[in-house]
Amino acid sequence: MTGVRADEKSPDRLIALSDGIFAIAMTLLVLDVSVPAGLDPDRFHDAVGDWLPKLGAYALSFTILAGFWRDHRRIVQLAQRVTPLSERLALAGLGVIALVPFPTAMLSEYASEPLSVALYALTIAVVDLLQLALFLSVRRHPHTSRGIAADLASTILVFGATVPIAFFVSPVAAMWSWLALAPLKMAVGRRYATG
């Protein structure tokens, strides 16, 4: 009978893998931002105008991934050891994280298309849904962890709600709705910091 080494149950290896996947996904985001070489002045100005939505999508996704990275590290560090369930949930979440550059590129090119905006919003909601499931699988004190769960749920709620908004109202309205996340997260933070 072979035993499992203690370091295989430690969250350190999962954190190292996670850091690498987040770093690669965040780096891949910038590959979509470029200006072709050899343009005359008029075409250069047109290219810069085309580049701005790509830069915006990059900044949005980089900021979101940075938050996911922070949350993921915090969640995995809560685990005293990695269980098969927490490992599967973490890997599923990392798989979706690695996918984020694709809907980001779609969003930067086709922000007026409902499917592009909905796919982006759905991807972000699924990442946080998996983060929430991972958190619930590793938490030690359910009564003291409501704030973290509420914070994760707020992202799921906002981005998930904008999927139908993109299709039935407008893609622009859906993207503007993402701004609701900032005051919602502040309210959640205040609520659980005081109580």
Which tens digits make up the pLDDT trace of 170-195?
A: 999 999 999 999 999 999 888 887 65
Structure tokens at 97: 């994280």
Supply the pLDDT for residue 41.
84
Predicted confidence band of residue 1 (pLDDT cuts 50, 70, 90):
very low
> Contact 135/148 with Cβ under 8 angstroms?
yes
Q: Tokens 């969640």 sit at which residue? A: 75
Highest mean pLDDT among 10-14, 41-45, 143-147: 10-14
Name residue 50's amino acid: D
Predicted confidence band of residue 52 (pLDDT cuts 50, 70, 90):
confident
pTM of the model: 0.89
Taking all residues of the chain, what is their mean pLDDT, rounded to a whole number? 90
> Which is nearest to 50 in space by CA: 65, 71, 35, 72?
35
CA distance 42 to 28: 29
More confident position, 36 or 78: 78
Span 70-81, mean pLDDT? 89
